[in-house]
């Protein structure tokens, strides 16, 4: 029956992290085959416990927030976010510019529809977390994927971005550090991105959910701090830095010249008020979490889990013939490249499936991140270092004998 068909706008939406291969892996588990799931960036699933700061915040405030709160989010939490974003150098913002949602996933769904008319274009990085491309489609727009260049540490390719701008381009998405590459962008790169937005009157949507997870003594710079004259929507949340994926806690902050964002804000207010409020439990811990920068810092310094797990992973990746990679500076992902001629790979989904059945390791292939060649896959470096070393060794042994044709 026509009536029951899935809507056309869903046809481009894909979620490969929990897609068909994940379902197959779950079935294997049900049948008693243990699967190492390197597909999801969910620290709590790998023994990253609840930070003490969060435990204390919860016990102190359990009576609060049982009713609907302000649709923008609880006042104290918005004040704490505003303070945090100001410290990151974003100027001219107040708690009125902050909108809290059920994770960055939800705030993205508030950020795009108020801007996009049907077929308006949004520049989205490739590779990137598919939330962004999907959300543009669902908002009626068209994601136009721009290249992040592996030869240049996975930084955005400015010439490629410029070549893809049309009269329909409304916005530029920047994810810093990016997922799946873990690339952290330096000031010069960010300034060039801001310049493109300035020249072509684009809104910048900047996803900074991994900003507290950067390594090697590098510093994260908020793009909005370099773009006071441009409308910028900065997004962030607690899922990764404080291992709170399940609390569904994220936010967006609108900065830039007020007169340029007035209309847009009205749309955001309509959408956020329509869903009444975000989960208050997640919001209650925001002030304590943003006071506690030690939790994320301890994970990424030498001796910390994320740092050491990256080391264990890349030490083993280096030994694999026919594979290369760019070391990530941020987040806990790496996006290795396969020599597809050597392995005769033409279909990266098939590669990931073959690997799953041969090694019981679940990975997400590059196509899951809107990457259009079959030559990459993502590793989530969250399990203990011994587990990761062993897993990468297994991937190496699998590749030794692999030929897709
Ligand atoms: N943005 C990026 C770049 C991500 O990698 C993720 C999750 O992996 C999200 C957003 C979603 O975060 P949240 O848990 O806040 O919805």
Cβ neighbours around 148 below 10 Å, total: 23
User: Do 15 and 96 belong together in one domain?
Assistant: no
User: Do 219 and 364 belong together in one domain?
Assistant: no
Cβ neighbours around 274 below 10 Å, total: 9
Alpha carbon of 213 to ligand 1 centroid (Å) = 13
Does 48 sit in the ligand 1 pocket, CB within 6 Å? no
User: Do 175 and 213 belong together in one domain?
Assistant: yes
User: Do 239 and 93 belong together in one domain?
Assistant: yes
Does 250 sit in the ligand 1 pocket, CB within 6 Å? yes
Nearest-atom number in ligand 1 for the CA of 249 is: 15
Q: Measure Cα distances from 64 to 69, 100, 305 in Å.
A: 10, 17, 34
Give the residue numbers spanning the domain of 35.
2-49+298-400
State the CATH number of the domain containing residue 264: 3.40.640.10
Does 245 sit in the ligand 1 pocket, CB within 6 Å? yes
The CB-side HSE value for 207 (13 A sphere, CA atoms) comes to 28
Say if pTM beats, i.e. exceeds, 0.95: yes
Does 237 sit in the ligand 1 pocket, CB within 6 Å? yes
Nearest-atom number in ligand 1 for the CA of 17 is: 8
DSSP conformational letter for 327:
-
Does 104 sit in the ligand 1 pocket, CB within 6 Å? yes
Alpha carbon of 237 to ligand 1 centroid (Å) = 8
Of the candidates 248, 275, 293, which is a domain's last residue?
293
User: Do 120 and 57 belong together in one domain?
Assistant: yes
The C-alpha atoms of residue 277 and residue 91 are separated, in whole angstroms, by 26
Q: Assign 144 to helix, strand or coil.
A: strand
The answer to whether the beta carbons of residues 67 and 47 sit under 8 Å apart is no
**Residue in 173, 214, 240, 380 to alter for ligand 1 test, most ligand atoms within 8 A of Cβ:** 240
Q: Assign 396 to helix, strand or coil.
A: helix
Kindly state whether residue 405 falls inside one of the protein's structural domains.
no
User: Do 328 and 311 belong together in one domain?
Assistant: yes
The C-alpha atoms of residue 167 and residue 120 are separated, in whole angstroms, by 9
The CA-to-CA distance between both ends of the chain, in Å, stands at 39
User: Do 103 and 13 belong together in one domain?
Assistant: no
Series of mean pLDDT values for 10-residue runs along the chain (405 residues): 89 89 96 96 95 91 84 97 98 98 98 98 98 97 98 98 98 98 98 98 98 98 98 98 96 97 98 97 96 98 98 98 98 98 96 97 97 98 98 97 88
Q: Hey, which residues does 361 pair with through a beta bridge? A: 36
Kindly state whether residue 107 falls inside one of the protein's structural domains.
yes
Structural domain count, the chain:
2
User: Do 141 and 15 belong together in one domain?
Assistant: no
Instruction: Tell which residue, 176, 167, 164, has the closest CA to residue 201.
Output: 167
User: Do 92 and 7 belong together in one domain?
Assistant: no
Q: Beta strand pairing status for 121-126 and 142-149? A: parallel
pLDDT in tens, 36-48: 999 999 999 999 9
Give the ranges where 7-95 is alpha helix by DSSP (H). 20-30, 52-60, 75-87
User: Do 287 and 206 belong together in one domain?
Assistant: yes
Alpha carbon of 187 to ligand 1 centroid (Å) = 23
At 100, phi and psi to the nearest 5?
-95, 140
State the CATH number of the domain containing residue 366: 3.90.1150.10
Tokens of 394: 């297994």
pLDDT in tens, 288-345: 999 999 999 999 999 999 999 999 999 999 999 999 999 999 999 999 999 999 999 9
User: Do 276 and 189 belong together in one domain?
Assistant: yes
Nearest-atom number in ligand 1 for the CA of 175 is: 3
User: Do 139 and 76 belong together in one domain?
Assistant: yes
């Amino acid at each position: 029956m026509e009536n029951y068909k899935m809507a056309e706008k869903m046809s481009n939406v894909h979620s490969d992290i929990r897609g068909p291969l994940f379902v197959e892996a779950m079935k294997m588990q049900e049948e008693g085959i243990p699967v190492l799931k390197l597909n999801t960036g969910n620290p709590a699933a790998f023994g990253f416990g609840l930070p003490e700061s969060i435990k204390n915040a919860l016990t102190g405030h359990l009576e609060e927030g049982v009713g609907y709160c302000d649709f923008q989010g609880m006042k104290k939490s918005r004040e704490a976010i505003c303070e945090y974003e100001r410290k990151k150098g974003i100027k001219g913002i107040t708690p009125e510019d902050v909108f809290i949602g059920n994770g960055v996933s939800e705030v993205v769904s508030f950020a795009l529809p108020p801007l996009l008319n049907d077929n308006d274009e949004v520049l989205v990085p490739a590779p990137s977390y598919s939330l962004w491309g999907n959300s543009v489609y669902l908002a009626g727009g068209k994601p136009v994927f721009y290249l992040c260049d592996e030869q240049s540490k996975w930084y955005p390719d400015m010439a490629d971005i410029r070549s893809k701008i049309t009269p329909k381009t409304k916005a530029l998405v920047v994810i810093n550090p990016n997922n799946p590459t873990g690339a952290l962008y330096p000031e010069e790169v960010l300034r060039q991105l801001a310049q493109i937005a300035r020249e072509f009157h684009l809104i910048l949507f900047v996803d900074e959910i991994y900003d507290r997870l950067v390594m090697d003594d590098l510093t994260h710079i908020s793009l909005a701090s370099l773009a006071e004259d441009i409308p910028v929507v900065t997004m962030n949340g607690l899922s990764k830095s404080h291992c709170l994926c399940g609390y569904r806690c994220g936010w967006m902050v609108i900065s830039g010249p007020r007169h340029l964002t007035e209309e847009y804000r009205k749309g955001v207010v309509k959408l956020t008020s329509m869903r009444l409020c975000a989960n208050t439990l997640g919001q209650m811990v925001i002030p304590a979490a943003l006071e506690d920068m030690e939790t994320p810092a301890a994970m990424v310094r030498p001796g910390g889990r994320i740092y050491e797990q990256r080391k264990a992973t890349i030490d083993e990746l280096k030994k694999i013939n026919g594979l290369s990679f760019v070391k990530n500076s941020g987040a806990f992902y790496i996006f290795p490249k396969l020599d597809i001629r050597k392995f005769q790979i033409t279909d990266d989904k098939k590669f990931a499936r073959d690997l799953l059945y041969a090694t019981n390791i679940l990975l997400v292939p590059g196509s899951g991140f809107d990457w259009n060649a079959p030559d990459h896959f993502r590793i989530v470096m969250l399990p203990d270092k011994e587990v990761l070393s062993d897993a990468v060794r297994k991937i190496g042994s699998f590749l030794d004998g692999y030929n897709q044709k």
